[in-house]
Amino acid sequence: MPLGPPPLLRSPVGLGRAVAILLGAVAVADVVAVWADLSLLDVMNRMLADDWSVALERDSDRADGLMALAAALQTFTYLATAVVFLVWFHRVRVNAEVFDPFGHRKKRGWAIGGWFVPVVNLWFPRRIAVDCWDASGPWQKPRSHALVNTWWKLWLLSLFAGEVGDRAYFRAEEAEEYRTAAQQMLFADSLEIVSAVFAALFVLALTRMQDDKARSGPREPEPVAVL
């Protein structure tokens, strides 16, 4: 039997739309970051080619400013999105328990806590997402996990790529090291744009599934054959 207070069905539509909009803002911040990465890469290439000039110094200052702007935008949009996403994720987890009380491998609290516990945060959120996906699908019509898996893989890849790029940038001291860091950050920020898009698709799909299922009413009993 499920432990804790009984789950209450609440609409995830407003939160889902808010998360999707914020993920769009994350993608915009990543586009600015890509622009900053390309500017830094251009400056480092010219510097390594001994193409020093007043214009290069001006472009270098501009690249530094873009890097600072991109970092601020990414930090703000990521934090805002994370807060609203966690509220939405917990809500769809509770709703999924209404649809299927016994189809969940993790308790409700892990819908938030699972993101913060080291190591287990590499797979607990996906497991919860899959259970919610299965419970929220049409009655007796399971849906493919392809979108969930694609979102999760892109999220992990972008997370690791971003960490590598940031470490390379903060350790860099020479022009060649900055150029390598710019290339790594360019890859990470480009990947994060794709990751944000698939995250929005996942959020909107699961939100729509739960809304449709709630509107469809309780499951109809299966017909019993009369002998």
Q: Phi and psi of 50, rounded to 5°?
A: 60, 35
Residue 102 is predicted with a pLDDT of 87
Residue 224 is predicted with a pLDDT of 41
Is it the case that residue 143 has pLDDT exceeding 80?
yes
% of residues, the chain, pLDDT over 70: 93
Is it the case that residue 225 has pLDDT exceeding 70?
no
Residue 220 is predicted with a pLDDT of 54
Q: What is the mean pLDDT of residues 94-119?
A: 92
Q: Are 70 and 33 in contact (CB under 8 A)?
A: yes
Question: Among 1-5, 65-69, 123-127, 160-164, which is the least confidently predicted range?
Answer: 1-5
Name the more confident of 51 and 171.
Answer: 171
**Angle value at C-alpha 146, between 123 and 30, nearest 5 degrees:** 70
Is it the case that residue 1 has pLDDT exceeding 60?
no
Residue 82 is predicted with a pLDDT of 98
Going by C-alpha positions, the residue among 91, 85, 90, 92 that lies closest to residue 112 is: 90
Q: What is the mean pLDDT of residues 43-64?
A: 88
Residue 4 is predicted with a pLDDT of 60
pLDDT confidence band for 78 (50 / 70 / 90): very high
Strand, coil or helix: what is 223? Answer: coil
Residue 154 is predicted with a pLDDT of 97
Q: Are 44 and 179 in contact (CB under 8 A)?
A: yes
